[in-house]
A = this chain, B = another copy of it.
Amino acid sequence: MASRKNALPITRKEDFSAWYQAVIVGADLAENSCVRGCMVIKPYGYAIWELMQSILDSKFKELGHTNCYFPLLIPIDLFEREAEHVAGFAKEMAIVTHHRIELKDGKLVPASPLETPLAIRPTSELIIGESMARWIKSYRDLPVLINQWCNVMRWEMRTRMFLRTSEFLWQEGHTAHETEDEARREAKTMHGVYYWFIHDVLKIACIPGKKPDHDRFAGAVDTFSIEAMMQDGKALQAATSHYLGQNFARAMDIRFQGRDDKLHYAHTTSWGSTTRMIGALIMAHSDDDGLNLPSEIAPYHVVIIPLLKGLGRDDEIISYCRDIRETIGDAARVFIDPKEIEPQNKKWDYVRKGVPFICEIGIKELEGQTVSITKRASNLEKAQMELSIFKHQIKNMLQEHDELLLQKSEEYFRANVRADIRTFPELKALFQTENKFVMVKWSGSPQKIELLDEIGVTIRCIPFRQSNAKGKCILTGEDACTDVVLAKSY
């Protein structure tokens, strides 16, 4: 096979971080803005987000949640109510202090200071808890199952598009329950939804598990996460779900009259997923030619490029392209690109955009009533088939495309998990040259956890699937039987 140039100016091997930016630019997903740490999500990137939203939103509603909207701004004194929570977020909050600007010495400056400064929500447990306290009087008012899609702000010093930006888009679910058991079940169920979304919809190999106590969400009793493996062997925490116990109920006074006629604090949960999942998508499936999109969140399944030669048959070709679109109908999202750009450039644009099937349609295809297809996930393999067959095959082809993405992701995953590391020196030596997911035993105590900090590694999670075999803690050497995953992370 003849070697060819890649569609991106840089490869994963050369510079993974620069490659990541190149995928974003190449697929025209987003760009940095003039506002520090805030990005612009461009139409193609936003279309992916809309599809993600629509799939998750349907699932949330199926499970009985309804959407609401709560204020963007939170009076900072509300943060005094939950000590752990404020400690977790105090250092990264954008604070509104004035409600006017005025011209002073030819420059616009803030004017009219506020009595109580307001924080732009970094998350909404407190402000939603404030409403829940009003809504919930009796056990009959429970459970409360709500969600909101919104923007949040966490001031970041070092930002990277989709992965870490000061402002990002997300959904945050918030629920209140009568019993601990029911609330714990809710947190687990929603964690299951996230696993399904990351693994079954986005086709990304990942490990579901519980965060170690020292790495829980600020104010939570238990935090569950999905740890997805990126193509540089690093972990990306793709979504989290928290059992909050009665911590926020106490802080915000969410009490109800129980079946025993006594007052009880509710048990609450929260769970969130963000535009960061687009970052996960990029680093899990893209190659040196650009993005590679699983079908459920691909804005287009099939892009048709008319090969117009100005030889008098262009109208026939255009009309045949429309026939193809009509023939496929609802079986796939088809887009005919009419732009006057050199067809080869156009094709590579869609390769970089990760469109599953790119069809180039010229006189040959018109005369044979065929389609010529470039299959994005199969290393740009070409295929030709009759339109009548394509019509019947397209759904299967999309399924194969998706299976291929998942298969590649899982193969990469298996090849990059190590379960043979027994001592800290071995661990240290490994991470000096490679990034892997390393399964080790851990005592469960934060003792000597700083050893991991020194080598830039964290306990990603305590996987739900435990071997229950005995071994020695990687940090203390003591007997331990908890399996944990160690990795470098985003």
Q: Which chain A residues have a beta carbon within 8 Å of chain B's beta carbons?
A: 31, 33-35, 38-43, 46-47, 49-50, 66-80, 86, 90-102, 107-110, 117-120, 127, 130-131, 134, 140, 146, 150-151, 153, 155, 167, 169, 340
Q: How far is the CA of A33 from the CA of B153 in the complex (A)?
A: 20
Which one of B40, B80, B97, B134 contacts A70 once the chains associate, using CB atoms below 8 Å? B40
B residues in contact with A47, CB < 8 Å? 66-67
The minimal Cβ–Cβ distance linking A238 to chain B, given in whole angstroms, is 20
Using CB atoms, name the residue of chain B closest to A340. B140
List 23 A-B pairs, Cβ < 8 Å. Answer: A31-B134, A34-B78, A34-B127, A34-B130, A38-B71, A38-B72, A39-B71, A40-B131, A41-B69, A43-B66, A43-B67, A46-B67, A46-B69, A47-B67, A49-B69, A73-B153, A86-B101, A92-B100, A93-B101, A95-B98, A95-B110, A96-B96, A97-B97
Min CB gap A25→B, angstroms = 12
Inter-chain contacts of A78 with B (CB < 8 A): 34
How many whole Å from A239's CB to the nearest CB in chain B?
Answer: 19
Contact check, B127 vs A108: say whether CB atoms are below 8 A apart: no
Q: Which of A42, A99, A127 has the most CB of B within 10 A?
A: A99
Residue among A34, A41, A169 having the largest count of chain B Cβ atoms under 10 Å: A34
Q: For the complex formed, measure the closest distance between the CB of A369 and the CB atoms of chain B, giving whole angstroms.
A: 30
Give bound CA distance, A94 to B97, whole Å: 8
Determine if A66 and B95 form an interchain contact, defined as CB atoms under 8 angstroms apart.
no
Query: Which of B50, B66, B140 lies in contact with A67, CB distance below 8 A?
Result: B50
Residue of B nearest to A128 (CB): B40
| A99: contacting residue among B73, B76, B151, B155, CB under 8 A | B155
Q: Which of A120, A127, A140 has the most CB of B within 10 A?
A: A120
Q: How many copies does the complex hold?
A: 2
A67 to B299, CA, bound (A): 12
For the complex of A and B, the 9 pairs showing the least CB-CB separation, nearest first, are: A38-B71, A43-B66, A41-B69, A95-B98, A99-B155, A95-B110, A35-B71, A97-B97, A94-B96
Give complex CA distance A119, B392 in Å: 54
Chain B residues in 8 Å Cβ range of A127: 33-35
Q: Are A34 and B75 in contact (CB under 8 A)?
A: yes
Within the complex, which residue of B33, B66, B102 is in contact with A130, where a contact is CB–CB below 8 Å? B33
Give the CA-CA distance A463 to B43 in the complex, in Å.
35
Give the distance to chain B from A36, nearest Cβ to Cβ, in Å. Answer: 9
Interchain CB contact under 8 A, A72 and B167: yes
A sample of 15 more A-B contacts (CB under 8 A), given A34-B75, A34-B127, A73-B167, is A31-B131, A31-B134, A33-B71, A35-B74, A40-B131, A43-B68, A49-B69, A50-B67, A69-B169, A71-B167, A80-B108, A94-B98, A96-B97, A97-B110, A109-B117
Pick the contact of A101: B43, B79, B131 (CB < 8 A).
B79
**A148 closest partner in B (C-beta):** B46
**Which residues of B lie under 8 Å from residue A38 when comparing CB positions?**
71-73
Chain B residues positioned under 8 Å from A77 (CB to CB): 107-108
B74 touches A43 (CB 8 A): no
A73 and B35 contact, Cβ closer than 8 Å, known pairs A95-B97, A110-B95: yes
Measured in the bound complex, the distance between the Cα atoms of B74 and A102 in whole Å is 15
What residues of B have a CB within 8 angstroms of the CB of A167 in the complex? 71-73
| Docked-complex contact B67 and A40, CB < 8 angstroms | no
Q: A80-B108, A108-B77 are in contact. Are A33 and B98 (CB under 8 A)?
A: no
Q: How far is the CB of A431 from chain B (nearest CB, A)?
A: 32
B73 and A86 form a contact (CB under 8 A): no
Q: How distant is A120 from chain B, measured CB to nearest CB, in Å?
A: 7
